[in-house]
Every structure is written in C-alpha cells, then in structure tokens.
Copies of this chain bind each other. A is one copy, B any other.
Amino acid sequence: MAGNVSSPSTTVTGRALSLVAAFDEDHRRLTLTELATRAGLPVPTAHRLLAELVEWGALARDPRGSYVIGRRLWDLGMLAPVQRGLRDVASPYLHDLYGATHATVHLAVRDDLSALYLDRLAGHTSVPVVSTVGSRLPLHATGVGKVLLAHSSEQVVQEALARLERVTPYTVTQPGRLRRQLEQVRHDGYAVTREEMSLGACSLAVPVVSRERVVAALGIVVPSLESSQVRLVAALQVAARGIARSLGSADDPRATP
C-alpha cells in the first residue's frame, strides 16, 4: 500500500494542495520524497512548493527535516464552521454525560460515508478507543455511525450498504441485517453496537435532533452493556435534548450537514 499517486493535477494550486493532502492520520510526518511520491510530483517541484508552504506556515519542518502540518493550518482549521456552534454548545453536555457515565463520550456528524468525530471526551481509565477528534470511522460499525445512517437519505444508505467492510468478527456485513438494525434504531431512538469496531468495546448512541433534523449523533463507549443500558440511554437522551435545546435558541441556522 505504497502510494495513492493522485491524478497529477495540472493546476499549481492543485499541486500544492495535493501535497498537503498527502498527510493523514497515519502519515503525520513525511519526508520530501514521500510527499513527492504521494502527491505524484517530481521531487524538485515538490521541494519548491513545500518551501512555499513552509514559509507561509501551512507546513512546518520538524527537527529531523521531515514535514508536518503547521500551526497556521491548525489555527485556520479551528475557524472552520464545521459545526462550530454545535461543538461549542455541546461541550458542557458531553461533560455532564461523562460525569454521569464515566464512559468515553463522542459527538459525531456524518460526512459523506463516514462518521466524522467532532469531539471526544475520554477519561484515564476508559476503554481503548480508536477515534480521535477529526478522524472518520465507518458508518456501519459504530454507534454514532448507525444513528447517523439511520437518519440519512436512501441514497446514502445504499452507498453505505454497498461496502460493508469487516473490522472485527462481530462487524455487521450483511446489508439486510444492517437495514433491519437501522429500522430498529429509528424505532428505539438509539443504536447499540457490541465489539463491531474494536474488541472489548460496546457503544450506545442517540441522535441530536434540532429543527426536526438529525444534526449529529451523541455516543458513548463502554466495556459492556450488561444491565446499565437503560440508564445509559436515558443519560444520553437527556444530554442530546439539552444540546438540541441550546442549539434551538440563540444560534443561527448555518448548518453544514
């Protein structure tokens, strides 16, 4: 799985961007040659563009000379309206929820065919969890993902069902079965997963409904569901309603679903 040699974009901006795009969750430090390869550019060209990006602060060089994402991009990223209102509003509720459950708490929205984690809140002793803020996980294997999918258009559902990757032995990979689960989620008002994304981790999630639209999903990850499920769902719903209420008041409707 060496290089996703992207289409060698002919425009300059495109090329510069393809260099930046070479970074991802698993590639936070890249060398010149790696970048050139991944962006599908000749080394000297990459070098020149990178120099510019570094000068501007989009990228930075670590002590070893490798390239990393720079502080300026981080700054700018924080300005993104990516549900910024949502994130700000939700923060205290995530918190309450953590206080009530001591489970890892997640806030996610759907972005294309993945669940995009807007915020995460984990304690010291939480179950090992794969997600980090800004990361994406598949819709079919996570609690928040199922909630989001359950309230998506038929077209999205079809696309998602078309590629159900197996992650653990318990991942649901049969379209029919998942469809029934989604129906269940809509009926129950919450979603459940049991070790479908990572072993030893179960999750519960509920939708956050504002102006009659599902704007996000709120979920928690716990080692097991045993008896406490009812209580946890109740806590989730309280938090979700709180978020929705805060969203409804004093917030402009610039959603970006």
Contacts and interface: CB of A to CB of B under 8 A. Distances in A.
A13 B256 contact: no
A80 B76 contact: no
Given A71-B256, A111-B71, A123-B92, A81 B52 contact: no
A79 B121 contact: no
A32 interface: no
Contact of A69 (B76, B116, B133): B76
Contacts of A256: 60, 62, 71
Given A28-B81, A69-B76, A79-B28, A122 B13 contact: no
Interface in A55-79: 56, 58, 60, 62-63, 68-79
Interface stretch (A18-26, A206-214, A228-236): A18-26
B71 A74 contact: no
A179 interface: no
Given A122-B91, A122-B92, A132 B78 contact: yes
B81 A73 contact: no
Contact of A74 (B23, B56, B62, B82): B82
15 contacts: A17-B52, A17-B58, A21-B76, A23-B76, A23-B79, A62-B81, A62-B256, A68-B80, A71-B80, A74-B82, A77-B80, A88-B132, A91-B122, A92-B122, A95-B121
In the A-B complex, the 3 residue pairs with the smallest Cβ-Cβ separation, listed nearest first, are A77-B77, A78-B134, A74-B80
